[in-house]
Chain A
Amino acid sequence: MIQEILKKTNRLHFGVVFLVVAISIFGFVLLYGAAGGSMYPYVIKQIPRFIIGFILMWGIAIVDIKFWYRYAYVFYILCILLLVAVYFSGHVGMGARRWLDLKIFALQPSELAKIALVMALAKFYHTRSIVAIHSLKNIFLAFTFIGAMFALVVVQPDLGTSLVLVFVGVAIMIASGLSKKLFFWMGGIGLTALPLVWSFLHGYQKKRLLVFLNPEEDPLGAGYHIMQSKIAIGSSDFWGKGFMQGTQSHLEFLPEKHTDFIFTLLTEDFGMFGALMLLLAYALLILFGTFISLKSQSLYAKYTALGATILLFLHVVINISMVMGLMPVVGIPLPFVSYGGTSMMTMLISMGFLLNAYVHRDVNLSGGSGLSSGGRF
């Protein structure tokens, strides 16, 4: 047993592990600065979260991939049930119903949903032949997988997470080998549906989108975040203003500097150089993820690895686009860096599944239309 664990631990992708640890430690440094040079109140809480999440990641990685494969749908159903539970009894935080109070810790099922959706879709496409997936029934089923979760998350309301769900779902559909024509159709339908989506948005969400288009118009209201963030980034230079010397972040002009806007703090203090380093780390992580997907034997492993990578990618890109004023403000934290337990856990769990695919890259999963089995389901 212990030998098995050691053996599998030895098979972990150490590049990924190293990058995760390195980015997280860099995050601690930034949080230390955000607190004005103090472990309190952020770092002291963030480190235990990281340790627990790290152990979780490792645990997930070495559990047999067959186990995750077998229960993929079960996790999905469980997540749906949790989301329904949240809808009826969830704790309202910051105006949205996202949290499930489990007494010991607050569970945010919409975070688990991202991973459960990846696993369920991976199994779904693993078990169906390339012909089968083009059947109307299966296309409909795939959309149901995505749509059910999207619907339950968007009513919370959590626009950011629901968009992530759609993106990651569609990405796995693309990877599954579905005909390109299908995606052109989807794109067309999606564009025509935009006005409909607009009418379903909440007032504050509409306002954010409008303010994004012209933040200078309302510099003290909804545009404040974007404006201050741009000032902070723009007023810095290549080497930055120095650790804890950033005037915007540390003089409290920048709100949420320790959570969603921590990238701004980083850029102000460490300049473009610091930002490039972090971007490089993320890019490498995404590169490793893509390679892991390519190297995996089973389709299930390929899809989960790719799904986990895309989740990471979406968080990074949405967050950084937001703070750079390239996208409206949606509450998506920066993976491993932003203060907050939920994001840290989700990202580490998701990395756990990426590593799981790598550890079990040579395993052939039976029962699917997988590559080596050749069987039809």
Chain B
Amino acid sequence: MPLSSANRNKIVSRRTVLLGALMALPFPVFVARMYYLQQILGAKYKKLAEQNRVSIRPIRPERGVLFDRLGKVLAKDKPAPRLVIIPEQCDDAQKVLASLQKLIPLSKRSVNDTLEKVKYRAPFTPITITKSLSFNNIAKVELNQPDLQGIDFIDIPLRHYQNGVSTGHLLGYVGRTDDYKKDKAEVKGWSPDFPVGRQGLEKLYEDELGGQPGFVHNETNAVGRPVRELERQEAKKGDDLYLTIDQDLQEFALNQLKNKVGSIVLLNAKTGGILAAVSTPSFDPNEFAEGIDPANWRELLNNSDNPLLNRSFQGTYSPGSTFKLVVAQAALEEGLVKPDEIMNCRGKIKLGNREFNCWKKHGKVDLLDAISGSCDIYFYELAKRLGVNKIANYAHKFGYGERSEIGIPEKSGLVPTTDWKYLTKHERWTTGEDLITGIGQGFLLATPLQMAVMSARIATGMEIKPVLLQKYEDVTRQAVPLEEKYLKLLRQGMFDVVNSRKGTAKNARRKGTVISGKTGTVQVISQRIEEGVDMSDVPLKRRPHGMFVGYAPYDTPQFAVAVVVENGGSGSGAAAPLAANVLKKATEIFG
């Protein structure tokens, strides 16, 4: 056939019809496919669609209550009202919000945010307008509620801390977890929206306090509104916990540290129960309940006094002269000194080219004089005889250099040894370092909690360990592995510190109880501030820290205390009176 144009026409038409036929092919396939999906597999897909229609809502468990030793509530879930708008209950959300704005202060932003949500959320879900409303404003809104279409209040349980600031560090706070999968992976049905303990005891006892979430399975209609409850399991409330804390003492201790930076730890000397543990500056955990305001958070973070640091457990300080008690016990037990050995304090001694000073010229002192007058020369000598390794050995027996068994975030402090220095600093230990360790300075570091534990161990001769829960207080304690006859001498020395004529803490005497203790003044800069200098002339941050450890009553020890006042000037001036006040208050409360 010749390839003429007429022929071309034929070919093109034929091809077009062919293509047209090809284009028709998929249509029956579509019909068949639809028939297959709907008629053959329809039941399966209907079921899957049904599953899509069941909504599962977790129920938040109530968090366990934290009680103090006498059953006073420290932390509890408390309903907090939220102002909400329910879109389907009002004709014009914009208008309602405008009239609401005239009634109470509402930021333009929160109004706009709300309107945005009204547009996109299901009409039956309440939309929060504001979380923080004063009582006055709540009353105003309630009064005008008949005119405010769709406006309502919903109570959301919020963690509330009855005495916020005083228990801030200790109890911590709750909030959304950063790593929900890690924290709550094992708890079935836990929703990321549920608060978990983020700090302090709330975090430590999360497993007990958190409880078990419940759930509701709802059937939802085409717009997602629950129409029928299919299944429900109620949430299980978390366990209540009784703490060893005494709320009144806690408040009292906080007030003692008002406008100061420092820490007070008060122990039940017999059980190790922590009666009070405060750290200043503090913060209010209630601010964290709904997510802290960014400005406040920045302020907490940037504050040079570090309010978020729990100084009681995490603040590490040179124990200063309070450590002389450890050195004395060590030297006595090792037989390197007799209690009546006399040493002559001329205010300084020389070791090689270096001079080591005492804070005053004590003249002739024996052991008890050296404790009550806090003579440095005497303890330089004991330290020289002992060497740091023997001192370290005894320090551990008093509870230094180790974390307690509470489990709360805590620093272990530092008890140096010659090996430690060689391993970490690759240097040999020097005799000079022996000497300053003897007066509790140099590398030594201890937390206020450890100092209080030392005091309790001296006072009772028992191996006291700190506890925070009442249920752990009833443990029988073993005697501390230290010789009682020498501990008795230490107690005598501590008695003299407060009650003798030459004692460094005569201002810690209180009526109604007999207090014993030991002061410590810790330099924060290398040069010693000369005796007689008026502390108010020294820049605050260069003033020495004031320390005091003590217990009361002297003959039947009941309470042990440690006080640290940062840059307080001296142990006797800044710390001893606070310790005495707290011990006296405790005596009064326990009767």
Contact = CB atoms under 8 A, between A and B. Distances in A.
B24 interface: yes
B33 A326 contact: yes
Contacts of A211: none
Interface stretch (A3-11, A22-30, A50-58, A244-252): A244-252
Contact of A250 (B23, B35, B45, B222): B222
A130 interface: yes
A19 interface: no
B52 A306 contact: no
Contact of B5 (A306, A320, A321, A374): A374
Interface string B18-48: 1110011011011101110110011011101
Given A234-B41, A247-B222, A369-B5, A294 B13 contact: yes
B533 interface: no
A377 B503 CA distance: 124
Contacts of A232: 49
Contacts of B45: 230-231, 233-235
B338 to A, nearest CB: 80
A309 interface: yes
Interface string A330-348: 0000000000000000000
Given A290-B16, A290-B20, A238 B29 contact: no
B49 A279 contact: no
A302 B9 CA distance: 10
Contact of B20 (A176, A230, A287): A287
The CB with the most chain A CB atoms within 10 A, among B3, B27, B29, B35, is that of B27
Interface in B208-225: 220, 222-224
B27 A279 contact: yes
B172 to A, nearest CB: 36
A48 interface: no
Given A279-B27, A283-B24, A294-B16, A247 B52 contact: yes
A374 B2 CA distance: 14
Contacts of B33: 324, 326
B525 interface: no
Interface residues of B, number: 40
Contact of A248 (B18, B52, B224): B52
Interface string A256-284: 00000000000100011001100100010
B48 A231 contact: yes
A214 B18 CA distance: 34
A238 B42 CA distance: 11
Contacts of B44: 234
Contact of B52 (A253, A275, A283, A299): A253
A371 interface: yes
Interface of B is mostly: helix
Contacts of A234: 37-38, 41-42, 44-46, 48-49
A25 B284 CA distance: 62
Interface string A172-204: 001111000000000000000000000000000
B12 interface: yes
Interface in B420-470: none
Contact of A230 (B7, B17, B37): B37
A276 B46 CA distance: 21
B11 interface: yes
Contacts of A253: 52
B53 interface: yes
B94 to A, nearest CB: 15
A326 B223 CA distance: 30
Interface string A312-331: 01000100110010100000
Contacts of B227: none
Contacts of A363: none
B102 to A, nearest CB: 29
A247 B227 CA distance: 14
Interface string A69-100: 00000000000000000000000000000000
Interface string A148-167: 00000000000000000000
Given A129-B3, A234-B45, A299 B38 contact: no
B5 A370 contact: yes
Contacts of B15: 174-177
A237 interface: yes
B181 interface: no
A222 interface: no
Contacts of A129: 3, 8
B314 to A, nearest CB: 43
Given A131-B3, A247-B222, A279-B30, A233 B19 contact: no
A134 B12 CA distance: 15
A120 interface: no
Given A234-B42, A253-B52, A299-B12, A324 B20 contact: no
A313 B26 CA distance: 10
Contacts of A250: 222-223
Contact of A290 (B3, B23, B34): B23
A250 B34 CA distance: 20
A108 interface: no
A306 B23 CA distance: 11
Nearest to A241: B222
A374 B9 CA distance: 11
Interface string A288-318: 0010011000010010001001100100010
B6 interface: yes
A162 to B, nearest CB: 20
23 contacts: A129-B8, A171-B19, A174-B15, A175-B16, A177-B8, A177-B12, A177-B15, A230-B45, A235-B45, A236-B38, A244-B222, A247-B52, A251-B52, A267-B34, A272-B38, A279-B30, A283-B27, A290-B19, A294-B16, A294-B17, A310-B19, A369-B5, A369-B8
The 8 closest A-B CB pairs, nearest first, are: A234-B45, A235-B49, A290-B20, A177-B11, A234-B37, A235-B45, A235-B46, A175-B15
